[in-house]
């Protein structure tokens, strides 16, 4: 495995650990994309088109989560205030 592919695989593995630690349920689809991308990056001859598509999808999903997370946190705070959570 080239150093570049190993760096990508390592970064994806670190992202998976972070997701597991903080957002296991909320981000399971993003985790699945990262897991698939990591597996592809670790192959001797990864399919670069597939890898790029997976990373583009993950990027878009991460942007969506980043945009919606503050609103979700606010909903959770209000729900706790009223004893719903």
Q: Is there a contact between 40 and 50 (Cβ–Cβ < 8 Å)?
A: yes
Question: What pLDDT is stored for residue 1 in this prediction?
Answer: 67
Residue-level pLDDT at 26: 65
> How many Cα atoms within 13 Å fall on the side-chain side of residue 28?
3
Q: Please report the pLDDT score of residue 23 as a whole number.
A: 63
Name the residue with tokens 């997701």: 19
**Residue span of the structural domain in which 73 resides:** 3-81
- pLDDT at res. 50: 95
For tokens 């979700």, the residue is 72
Give per-residue pLDDT as tens, 30-76.
888 889 999 999 999 999 999 999 989 988 888 887 787 777 677 77
45: which DSSP letter?
A: S
The predicted model scores a pTM of 0.62
How many domains are contained in the chain? 1
CA distance 16 to 34: 7
Residue 73 CA to residue 70 CA, distance in Å, equals: 5
How does pLDDT run across 8-29, given as a tens digit for each residue? 888 888 888 877 776 656 677 8
């Amino acid at each position: 495995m080239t150093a570049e592919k190993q760096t990508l695989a390592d970064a994806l593995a670190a992202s998976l650990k972070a997701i597991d630690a903080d957002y296991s349920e909320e981000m399971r689809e993003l985790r699945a994309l990262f897991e698939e991308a990591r597996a592809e990056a670790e192959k001797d001859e990864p399919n670069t088109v597939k890898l790029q598509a997976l990373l583009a999808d993950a990027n878009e999903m991460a942007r969506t989560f980043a945009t919606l997370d503050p609103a979700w946190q606010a909903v959770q705070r209000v729900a706790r205030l009223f004893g719903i959570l």
